[in-house]
Structure 1
Amino acid sequence: MLDPADPAFARDPYPYYARLRTQGPAVRVALANGTHAWFVTGYEHVRAVLADSRFSNVPPPGAGRPRPDSPAQRARACLARHMLNSDAPDHTRLRRLTSAAFSPRRVDALRPRIEQLASELIAKAATRTQNGAVVDLVDAFAFPLPVLVIGEVLGVPEADRDDLRKWTYRVGSPADALPAGAVDEAWIRLHAYFTELIADKRRRPGEDLFSALVHDVTEGGLDDGELLAMAFLLLFAGYETTMNLLASASLLLLTHPGELAAARRDATRWTAVVEEALRHASPLEATTWRRTTQEVNLGGSGLIPAGASVLAVLAAANRDPAHFPDPDAFRPDRYRPAAGGTRAAPHAAFGHGPHFCVGARLARLEAAVALPVLFDALPGLQLAEDPGEIPYRPGLLVRGPRRLPVRRA
């Protein structure tokens, strides 16, 4: 039986996934909540599932824990319309509109602002690390930077971004870690805020990506409910993946000082560092749940019945030894082949197929810009806790350190 909330599993799920991989293309797993699901862990089979329309993204009726009706629950329900919970043709339309807003030109134009925001956050952290004080890099850097950047994408006024960060932190935290009612209040405030933001973008559009979505008047443009769902999706997908990438990459570099020194000597290595961090410490442990619309045979013992819950485990695919030699080692050079060498296989950290992460370019850009700023501004940075004791976020969807305490030598 698998308990995704087990701290030991959250810290190191890879041995478990390696055992599953040896048992076949898809393995039926008993979960601690009393349900069962089919886990797909091999690189080729994960990619096959994500490209196969027989694996639906639409949640079945009544999926999830039942919740009483309330303003907070109605705010949560807005997410049900986002494109991760849809199949073609609805997904095709939503994806087309969003991809246009995330064009390379628009994303790349954010580089100077990302560098400025990262520099400001790291300057505050540097002040706090004086005289040996300990700073949590998740709280001071990895979490706030993506929230601030997605604020740029959504065109959130700077005066509102502290509130946005506070509400986002609350809805992403376990309810028992906050005062009673704090999570529900944050959902209600986010719903109200984005409702007003959409109305404001209609009245006074800006140059931000969200204004482009609001004012897309092509056939099949987004209605207000879809815009609200898209705002939530961009907010949470925009910070969750990148937060975990920044935290995990920082931890990997702090525990592999030779790789950090090499990147600081040669700035062209940072791209490879980011790619290897995405592979080695996938910020998305798995995709959202799929459901088979018919019986599917993945080969061998991988016969999945119709109506089954299926999880494509990206973290496991990225450690498949058939495609990544020495898969448990952090080796950025696998993405910097020597002359005549072979580059590593593309990792699956952003998924594959129709639901490949539309924000992948932005996440890569944030990491490639912010990580060198961090380590140039804070030389001598070191962990203030045994890396084996650092807790990880529980669950099967996202993966990253919950805290990353550091100090300067």
Structure 2
Amino acid sequence: MLDPADPAFVRDPYPYYARLRAQGPAARVALVNGTHAWLVTGYETTRAVLADPRFSNVPPQGAGRPRPDSPAQRARACLARHMLNSDAPDHTRLRRLTSAAFAPRRVDALRPRIEELTGGLVQELAARLAEEGSADLVNAFAFPLPVLVIGEVLGVPEADRADLRDWTYRVGSPANALEQGAVDDAWLRLHRYFTELIADKRSSPGDDLFSALVHDAADGGLDDAELLAMAFLLLFAGYETTMNLLASASLLLLTHRRELAAARRTPGGWATVVEEALRHSSPLEGTTWRRTTEEVELAPGTVIPAGASVLAVLAAANRDPAYFPDPDAFRPGRYSSGTEGTRAAPHAAFGHGPHFCVGSRLARMEAEIALPLLFDKLPDLVLTTSPEEIPYRPGLLVRGPRVLPVTIAPRRRCR
């Protein structure tokens, strides 16, 4: 039975996924909530499922554990109407409305501002380390940078970022991992917040994506429910993925000093670090749930019935040894053709097919800017605890360190 909140699984889910992968292209698993699902863990099969329209993103009525009607459940249902939970043609329409904001030219134009924001955060982190001796790299760096960036893109006030982080953390976690009522309360607060944000953008629009979406809604682009869902999705996806990428990449570099040194001296080294971090420690553990619209034979002897719940596990696909030799090792050189010969297969960290992450370019750019600035300014940064003791997010959706305690190592004096 799979319990996504089990501490042993949360700490290291990869052996479990490897066992499933050895069973075949998909395995039927009993979940702790009393339901069953098919988990897809191989690289090739994951990409095939994500591109196959027979695997629908539209949640069926009554999916998952039965929940009684309540204000929280209605808020959850409203905010879940985003484009990740839709198929064509609805998905095509919704994606088109947001793709323009993440076009390469507009993303690249953010580079100077991201460099400015990163520089300020690194200075604040350095000052805190000098004054207090230690800091949490997630709270002080990995979290605020993507929130500041997506806040500028969407027009979300900086003063609201701490509350939004708390609420989105709760809705992205299994209910049994939190105190009773915490998840329902978060859905209610998010619904209320975004309702007020829409009203504010209508009365006082700014030069941001969400103001543009609200304006488009007045011309028939999105209805109110779609606006609410779009706001939730863009905020959640806009910082959760990048926060986990920055935290996981920092942890990998703090525990792999040789790779850190190579990134500093090798042209293009930081780009390979980001790609390998995305593969090795996928910030999205799994995709949103799919449902088969008909019986699907994935391979001879593996038939998934119609109406089955299916989860493509990106973190497992990215460690498929058939495509990534020595998959559990952190080796940025595999993404540099001049270092290890043949360049590695493209990872699946941003998904595949029609639902490929629209913000992937922005996430990569943030990491390629932030990581060298962090380690150039603070070259003696070290962990204050064993890597095995660092807690991770529970669940099957997102993966990353919850905290990352660091300090500055004292320099040895030459004798």
Q: TM-score, normalising length from structure 2?
A: 0.91
Tell me by how many angstroms 1:189 deviates: 4.1
Per the alignment, do residues 46 and 186 of structure 1 end up closer, same or farther by CA in structure 2, a change over 3 Å counting?
closer
| Residues 144 and 165, structure 1, Cα contact 8 Å, conserved in 2 | no
The match for 2:224 is 224
| Partners of 1:354 and 1:234 in 2: CA distance | 17
Give the aligned partner of residue 412 of structure 2.
none
CA distance in 1, matches of 2:301, 2:135: 49
| Counterpart residue type for residue 20 of structure 1 | L
1:297 match: secondary structure: strand
Task: Give a deviation string over 1:230-277, Cα, whole Å, max 9, x none.
Answer: 000011111211111111000000010011112223462111110100
Moved more, 35-44 or 173-182: 173-182
Measured against aligned partners, the alpha-carbon deviations of 1:259-308 in whole angstroms (never above 9, x if no partner) come to 11122234621111101000010111111111111110011332111111
Kept after mapping to 1: 8 A contact 2:67/2:73: yes
Work out the CA distance in 2 between the residues paired with 1:307 and 1:22.
25
Aligned counterpart, 1:407? 407
Q: What CA RMSD, in Å, does the superposition of the two structures yield over aligned residues?
A: 2.5
Following the alignment from structure 1 to structure 2, what is the Cα–Cα distance between the partners of residues 263 and 68?
A: 52
SS at match of 2:147: helix
Distance of 1:40 and 1:222 partners within structure 2? 34
For these two proteins, the number of residue pairs brought into alignment is: 409
What SS class does the counterpart of residue 81 from structure 1 fall into? coil
Change (3 A) 1:12 1:174: closer
Partner of 1:318: 318
**Counterpart of 2:103 in structure 1: which amino acid?**
S
AA partner of residue 201 (structure 1): K
CA distance in structure 1 between the aligned counterparts of 2:32 and 2:195, rounded to whole angstroms: 38
Taking the TM superposition and a 5 Å limit, the aligned residue runs for 1:166-181 are 167-168=167-168
Q: Does the 8 A contact of 1:84 with 1:288 survive in 2?
A: yes
**2:220 is the counterpart of 1:211:** no
Q: Comparing 169-178 with 69-78, which one deviates more in the overlay?
A: 169-178
AA in 1 matched with 2:306 = A
1:261 is matched with: 261
Q: Distance in 2 between matches of 1:39 and 1:8?
A: 19
2-side partners of 1:23 and 1:66: how far apart? 30
Q: Which amino acid aligns with 1:238?
A: G
Residues 17, 173 of structure 1: CA spacing in aligned structure 2 closer, same or farther, 3 A cutoff? closer
State the shift of 1:132 in Å: 7.0
Superposed CA deviations along residues 100-151 of structure 1, whole A, max 9, x for unmatched, are 2221122222222222222222222212212672211112111222222211
- Taking a change above 3 Å as real, the CA distance of residues 284 and 216 of structure 1, as seen in their structure-2 partners, is same
What SS does the aligned partner of 2:8 have? helix
- Tell me how far apart the structure 2 counterparts of residues 35 and 177 of structure 1 sit (CA, whole Å): 18
Contact in 2 for aligned 1:93/1:220 (Cα 8 Å): no
Report the 3-state secondary structure (helix = DSSP H, G, I; strand = E; otherwise coil) of the residue aligned with 1:4: coil
The residue that corresponds to 1:77 in the other structure is 77
The answer for the alignment partner of 2:105 in structure 1 is 105
Q: What is aligned with 1:234?
A: 234
Q: Measure how far apart 1:209 and its partner are.
A: 2.1
Distance (Å, rounded) in 2 between the aligned partners of 1:34 and 1:171: 20
Name the aligned partner's letter for residue 17 of structure 1.
Answer: Y
The answer to whether the 8 A contact 2:118-2:370 is kept is yes
Structure 1's unaligned 5+ residue stretches are: none
Partner of 1:280: 280
Aligned pairs for 1:37-56 within 5 A: 37-56=37-56
CA distance in 2, matches of 1:217, 1:223: 6
2-structure distance, mates of 1:182, 1:44: 38
> How far apart are 1:179 and its partner, in Å?
8.4
SS in structure 1 at match of 2:28: strand
Cα deviation for residue 360 of structure 1 reads 0.9
SS in 1 for 2:310: strand
Contact 1:26 / 1:301 at 8 angstroms: preserved in 2?
Answer: no
Contact 1:245-1:278 at 8 Å conserved across structures: yes
**Identity rate, percent:** 80
Contact 2:5 2:176 in 1 (8 A): no
How many angstroms apart in 2 are the aligned matches of 1:36 and 1:151? Answer: 38
CA distance 1:69–1:27, shift in 2 (3 Å): closer
SS in 2 for 1:311: strand
Residue type at the aligned position of 1:211:
S
Q: Which segment drifts farther, 388-397 or 187-196?
A: 187-196
Query: What is the rounded CA distance, in whole Å, between the counterparts of 1:19 and 1:184 in structure 2?
Result: 34
1:3-402 to 2 correspondences below 5 Å: 3-130=3-130, 133-161=133-161, 163-165=163-165, 167-168=167-168, 186-216=186-216, 221-266=221-266, 268-338=268-338, 341-402=341-402
Is the 1:25–1:300 contact (alpha carbons within 8 Å) kept by the matching residues of 2? no
Paired amino acid for 2:116: Q
Q: Matched residue of 1:321: which SS?
A: coil
